[in-house]
Amino acid sequence: MRITALQPQANNPDRVNVFVDEHFLLGANALIVLRLGLRIGQELLPVQLEELQREEALQQAIDRAMNYLSFRPRSREEVRLYLRRKETPLELIDAVLERLQQLDLINDRAFAEFWVGTREKFSPRGTRLLKNELRMKGVERTIADEMLDDQQDEERAMRAGRKKALTLIRLARMDYATFSQRLGSFLQRRGFSYEVTKRSVKMLWEELRDENVDADDY
């Protein structure tokens, strides 16, 4: 097989169409063609063709993973599962993950910081539930344990429950028993312990009831 043409693709100049013996062989990333030193007139040996195909398959898998990462940070395990769903050959997946890790595009500690930070901002949850979520994403237990402890759970519970509590306390004829049952269930679903939930419910009731009474006076 002799390379007879190397033509940039019309709709993607970063890719090159490789022709051998006047026939289209395959499309490949231009950097791979350059790295392998392919040129017109060169005899393409079977071992070189195999390397070209392997490098192209690897680059396609990397591009697919990078597109997946463009929406939000992902854990290493999330990327692995995504590539498997896309039927990426198993022998390529570890190579893709290694390349992405070298580029610092996957980093489970940074991912865990992102995940916890997002939860804290938009949907506060208890330490127990946060750790479970991180483990489900494939983050090692040691990273989750280093990052999270239950010392701030009461503060998280107050933030998590305030909006729900305000809605409940404004309902007509809302009593403490009903408020406690409904808000308590909400907080426990968010992963807060019984004791943290009990204290937070009581504090929110006292704080918001007084505010609501004062507002009703006007």
Q: What is the pLDDT of residues 47-57, one digit of tens each?
A: 999 999 999 99
Query: 46-74 burial string, b = 16+ CB within 10 Å, else e?
Result: eebeeebeebbebbbbbebbeeebeeebb
- Is residue 38 within 8 Å of residue 3, measured between CB atoms? yes
Displacement of CA 217 from its chain's centroid (Å):
48
Summarize the confidence of residues 91-118 as an average pLDDT: 94
Tell me which amino acid residue 141 is: R
Residue 96's pLDDT band (cuts 50, 70, 90): very high
The whole-angstrom separation of Cα 42 and Cα 120 is 59
Tell me: the pLDDT tens digits for 16-27?
A: 999 999 999 999
Q: Binning pLDDT at 50, 70 and 90, where does residue 210 land? A: confident
pLDDT at 212: 65
Contacts of 127 (CB under 8 A, 6+ apart): 148, 149, 150, 152, 153, 156, 191
Give residue 147's pLDDT.
87
Separation of alpha carbons 24 and 90, rounded Å: 28
Give the mean model confidence (pLDDT) for residues 130-146: 94
State how far the Cα of 51 lies from the Cα of 32, in Å rounded to an integer.
Answer: 10
Cβ atoms of residues 199 and 188 within 8 Å? no
